[in-house]
Amino acid sequence: MVPEIGHFALVIALFVALVQTIMPMLGAYRGIPELMAMGKPAARVQFLFIAVAFFMLTLAFIENDFSVAYVAQNSNSALPIEYRISAVWGAHEGSLLLWVFMLASWGLAITIFSKSLPEHFLARVMSVMGFTGVGFILFILMTSNPFDRLIPAAADGRDLNPLLQDPGLIIHPPMLYMGYVGFSVAFSFAVAALLGGHLDATWARWSRPWTTVAWLFLTIGIVLGSWWAYYELGWGGWWFWDPVENASLMPWLAGTALIHSLAATEKRGAFKSWTVLLAILAFSLSLLGTFLVRSGVLVSVHAFASDPERGVFILGFLVVVIGVSLGLYAWRAPSVHGGGRFEWFSREMLLLANNVLLMAALAAVLMGTMAPIVLDALNLGKISVGPPYFDVVFVPVMLPLVILMGIGPLVSWQAGDARPLFKKLRIVLAVSLVTGIALPLIAMGKATLMVAASTTIAMWVILSSAQYLRDRIKRNVGNKGLSAGVYGMVIAHAGVGVFVIGVTLSSVFSVERDVHMRVGDTVQINNFVFRLDEVKPVRGPNYHSDMARVNITRDGEQVAVLTPEKRTYFIQTMPMTEASIDTTLLRDLYVALAEQRDADGWALRVYHRPFQAWIWSGPLLMALGGILAASDRRYRVSARHILQARRKTASASVSDGAQA
Amino acid sequence: MKLSAVFLLLLLGIAQAVAELSDPRDERRFNELAKTLRCMVCQNQSIADSDAELARDFREQVQKKINEGQSDTEIISYMVERYGDYILYRPPFNMVTAILWLGPFILVIVGFLMILRIVRRQEQPQADTEQQARLRQLLEKSADSGNESG
């Protein structure tokens, strides 16, 4: 019964989503309040039924119902309960159900947090959200039903892919999808604004917190994925420029550009039509990512061509969404007038530069991801695009962005005053240079020109952000205090600096040794002595494993005991490497057990990776900045207050130019 | 460009085949090379970080050639000759891939030219802009409310 209830709930959700798409839009078009008002309850009911479907699939996993094909393919009675639950999104069908569940959750959130939105606008937003829901629920029901029965039922399941049996992979997909799918809200707001002709600062203010929240979830999702790759793949790497990774990086880059462009639109009414285009782009890239990952086109273009059902559906949906929204854009956006004037040296200018660079970086990732697929499909040859390409094309585009980031917040809107700014930043620059050179020298005992240059850039971002915060606090004396948004921006920008330091020092100064060890053997990296104490068999719930014990000492004192494993899962017998890592602020010690060479000899990979934790801390700071920015009080004031505030600022005119 | 190299080294931890290269400089060369060659039977892994049989075989081949005193270019062209461009993680530059290599940089230039135009256009004197803007706002507002009620 359980899968049938889930299936049925999904069918009902489809019809509710249809109602949600049609009625409010019709109402907004005809000006019928009763129809417009249907959006909210429809979104809530849709959420309810999708939640039921999601719960039923989860229940089927918990109860080991191997008469459900999807459960039989991705679970096993020996699988621990937490992985039975995360196995729900362990493969194609369930991932899509998670996608739809996230979409419905965002829809529900809009109905809760958007009391201040005018009814026409809200009706159109609900309708666009509903349309996206219709597309994906239809996709599940037509091509990827997770509730399909297996007759006769399997005696036991084929188990979850061992790579996914990991705590990181329990939360990585939900976070990532929250982000991916969250851009649908910014997209719906953009389309609604285009339809209603309200493409103004108020629209930008409504969109900002939603965009920021989606972006911060995406950031956390990407970090978790990278972290997982680091310890689970056992090669010490944390970013592989894999198409699947790129698929999540592309909407992230567009989302980052959108966050910044929205700021200019909200504050100055500038670049309205560009901002709306970015909102469309961010969500389109989310859909493109879904297409890439879910169609099978990445595995092989030819496999995709021979079984194209799923891919063609998403591709069709992608074309409809992009086509309709761009058509709408072409129709409505030209009538949108630009904001106020601004000069060469102004915040607007720097934000435009930010957008140009982010778009170029995005183009590099997009082309690097698509080129192999497109060339293969056109029979122009098989090529691979990997790290060497992105190093040469992506990195040089991002570096100037990091440098500009230090100046951007300090420059006023409209017309910045360059001279006093440079006078002030002279000191910051000098301190950045000194600390940037000192950091690798002190931490690593050596530095090259390139290392010093990039740590200097990182220090520049961190210190100039601090300088900005100091300025704002000084100027705010006696006032009610700085807004959370200011702290959010400073922390997020400083996070970029932290990330750059981590990437630089970890990549340049990491030492890797691939060694053959017998029990009692030692290997030394820098001052750390790694000694293999024993390798013993261990039995897990659904695998057996060889677990090594590696004792690490430094100058005779014990630092850590690491226990890397080589696991073989009972059902899917491919061997899995479980690296063991000792992390401190300044370095990771990393040991992975490779393979048994002879009776008592093992191949081990041993790494010393300085500042590795900074690579995750940086983006987590960015996400924290996002949390603060989204929690800013001003997003919670009612529409009436916004209007009053706007009138006030309009009369106060340019005097508040520098306030972010 | 050189600056970027700092970030470049970042991507992969390198596993060296159990040290058969005595010279540390050779070892570094091997590590760099192994990162740029694709393990062709793997999903998306370089020969440096794959346990596959083929990757191990390729690693040994590269090591042998380094020991024989071959240069990086010689080794790469040998691999490409035998296995095609697909083995290279750094795609070759040719007519087909030109847009891949140059596209992002062209986009930067075009983007900044567009900014240039926007600012230039703004610099042209406009009569009494503030009043115009206010007028426009009023017009927009009435148009909006017209839409709403219609």
Contact B99 A367 (CB under 8 A): yes
Minimum Cα–Cα distance from B3: chain A residue: A450
Query: How far B9 CA lies from chain A's nearest CA (Å)?
Result: 5
Q: Do the bridges between strand A580-583 and strand A587-598 make them parallel or antiparallel, or are there none, so unpaired? A: antiparallel
Note whether A69 and A1 are same-domain residues.
yes
Query: How far B82 CA lies from chain A's nearest CA (Å)?
Result: 14
- pLDDT tens digits for range A88-100: 998 889 999 999 9
Contacts of B149 in chain A (CB under 8 A): 31
Q: Across the interface, which of A118, A453, A607 has its CB nearest the CB of B13?
A: A607
Contacts of A359 in chain B (CB under 8 A): 107, 111
Whether A641 shows a pLDDT value over 90: the answer reads no
Contact B119 A233 (CB under 8 A): no
> Does A425 or A6 have the greater pLDDT score?
A6
Which stretch, A44-53, A309-318, A395-404, has highest mean pLDDT? A44-53
- Least confident stretch, A237-241, A278-282, A557-561: A237-241
> Does B144 or A133 have the greater pLDDT score?
A133
CB pairs under 8 A between A and B: 199
Note whether A478 and A536 are same-domain residues.
no
pTM attached to this predicted model? 0.89
Q: Across the interface, which of A197, A343, A367 has its CB nearest the CB of B144?
A: A197
Interface test mutation site (partner B, options A278, A383, A604, max chain B beta carbons within 10 A): A383
- pLDDT tens digits for range A495-530: 999 999 999 999 989 988 888 899 989 999 988 999
Query: How far A595 CA lies from chain B's nearest CA (Å)?
Result: 9
Question: How buried is A1 (Cβ within 10 angstroms: 0-12 exposed, 13-18 middle, 19+ buried)?
Answer: exposed
What is the CB-side half-sphere exposure of residue A380 using CA atoms within 13 A?
Answer: 13
> Does A479 or A525 have the greater pLDDT score?
A525
- Superfamily of chain region B2-87: Cytochrome C biogenesis protein (1.10.8.640)
d(CA A384, CA A426): 44
State the distance between the two ends of chain A, measured CA to CA, in whole angstroms.
56
Tell me the residue type at B21: L
CA distances to A244, A449, A500, A612 from A445, rounded to whole Å, are 37, 14, 19, 17
Whether A186 shows a pLDDT value over 70: the answer reads yes
Say what angle helices A243-268 and A201-232 make with each other, to 10 degrees: 150
Query: How far A153 CA lies from chain B's nearest CA (Å)?
Result: 32
Whether A655 shows a pLDDT value over 80: the answer reads no
Q: What residues of chain A, 284 to 323, have a C-beta less than 8 Å from chain B?
A: 299
Minimum Cα–Cα distance from A363: chain B residue: B104
Q: What residues of chain A, 371 to 400, have a C-beta less than 8 Å from chain B?
A: 371, 375, 380-389, 391-397, 399
Contacts of B43 in chain A (CB under 8 A): 299
Q: Which residue has the tokens 């695998």?
A: A543
Does residue A167 sit at the B interface (CB-CB below 8 Å)? Answer: no
- How confident is the model at residue B2, as a pLDDT? 41
- pLDDT tens digits for range B29-78: 888 888 889 888 877 788 887 878 888 888 888 888 888 888 888 898 89
d(CA A248, CA A225): 10
Query: How far B68 CA lies from chain A's nearest CA (Å)?
Result: 22
Cβ–Cβ < 8 Å for A322, A376:
no
Note whether A209 and A314 are same-domain residues.
yes
Whether A660 shows a pLDDT value over 70: the answer reads no
Cβ–Cβ < 8 Å for B108, A360:
yes
- pLDDT tens digits for range A563-583: 999 999 988 887 888 999 999
ipTM of the complex: 0.84
CA A97 to chain centre: 19
- pLDDT tens digits for range B120-129: 777 665 544 5
Interface test mutation site (partner B, options A384, A614, A654, max chain B beta carbons within 10 A): A384
Give residues with Cβ within 8 angstroms of A211, minimum separation 6: A182, A183, A185, A186, A255, A258, A259, A262, A279, A282
Q: What total number of domains does chain A contain?
A: 4
Percent of chain A scoring above 90 in pLDDT = 61
Contacts of B89 in chain A (CB under 8 A): 384-389
In a domain, A230, yes or no: yes
d(CA A621, CA A489): 10
- How confident is the model at residue A466, as a pLDDT? 93
Question: How buried is A570 (Cβ within 10 angstroms: 0-12 exposed, 13-18 middle, 19+ buried)?
Answer: middle
Per-residue buried b or exposed e for A386-400, using 16+ beta carbons within 10 Å of the residue's own CB: bbbbbbbbbbbbbbb
The number of beta carbons lying within 10 Å of the beta carbon of residue A446 is 10
How confident is the prediction for chain A on average, in pLDDT?
89
Whether B14 shows a pLDDT value over 60: the answer reads no
A418 three-state secondary structure: helix
Q: Which two tokens stand for residue A263?
A: 């700021």
Contact B92 A241 (CB under 8 A): no
Torsion angles phi and psi, residue B88, rounded to 5: -90, 125
Percent of chain A scoring above 70 in pLDDT = 93
| Cis preceding linkage at A152, omega within 30 | yes
CA distances to A201, A250, A286, A335, A354 from A278, rounded to whole Å, are 15, 12, 12, 17, 13
Contacts of A375 in chain B (CB under 8 A): 96
Contact A363 B103 (CB under 8 A): yes
**B5 falls in which pLDDT band (50, 70, 90)?**
very low
Does residue A503 sit at the B interface (CB-CB below 8 Å)? Answer: yes
Interface test mutation site (partner A, options B6, B51, B117, max chain A beta carbons within 10 A): B6
d(CA A26, CA A32): 8
Torsion angles phi and psi, residue A659, rounded to 5: -80, 130
Interface test mutation site (partner B, options A300, A391, A457, max chain B beta carbons within 10 A): A391
Contact A197 B35 (CB under 8 A): no
Contacts of B7 in chain A (CB under 8 A): 391, 395, 399, 454, 503-504, 507
- How confident is the model at residue A321, as a pLDDT? 92
Note whether A325 and A207 are same-domain residues.
yes
Contacts of B86 in chain A (CB under 8 A): 382-384
Q: Across the interface, which of B9, B10, B85 has its CB nearest the CB of A383?
A: B85
Sheet containing A601-610, strands listed edge to edge, beginning at the edge strand earlier in sequence: A511-518, A601-610, A587-598, A580-583
Note whether A408 and A299 are same-domain residues.
no
Contact B44 A242 (CB under 8 A): yes
- How confident is the model at residue A581, as a pLDDT? 94
Residue A465: name the closest of A625, A607, A228 by CA. A625
CA distances to A353, A383, B35 from B86, rounded to whole Å, are 36, 4, 14
Note whether A535 and A478 are same-domain residues.
no
Note whether A234 and A365 are same-domain residues.
yes
Contact B11 A391 (CB under 8 A): yes
Note whether A652 and A551 are same-domain residues.
no
Q: Which two tokens stand for residue A265?
A: 């639109």
Does residue A19 sit at the B interface (CB-CB below 8 Å)? Answer: no
d(CA A579, CA A230): 9
Q: Across the interface, which of B6, B49, B87 has its CB nearest the CB of A508?
A: B6
Note whether A19 and A73 are same-domain residues.
yes
Whether A645 shows a pLDDT value over 70: the answer reads no
Domain, as residue range, for A586 = 509-613
- pLDDT tens digits for range A137-176: 999 999 989 999 998 888 888 888 888 888 888 899 999 9
Domain spans, chain B: 2-87, 98-149
Cβ–Cβ < 8 Å for A18, A130:
yes
CA distances to A16, A24, A202, A638 from A28, rounded to whole Å, are 18, 6, 19, 22
Whether A649 shows a pLDDT value over 60: the answer reads no
**B146 falls in which pLDDT band (50, 70, 90)?**
very low
Does residue A416 sit at the B interface (CB-CB below 8 Å)? Answer: no
For residues A169-198, give the mean pLDDT.
Answer: 92
Note whether A273 and A393 are same-domain residues.
yes
Q: What residues of chain A, 571 to 590, have a C-beta less than 8 Å from chain B?
A: 575, 590
Q: Which two tokens stand for residue A99?
A: 């996608």
Whether A556 shows a pLDDT value over 80: the answer reads yes
In a domain, A223, yes or no: yes
Contact B112 A356 (CB under 8 A): yes
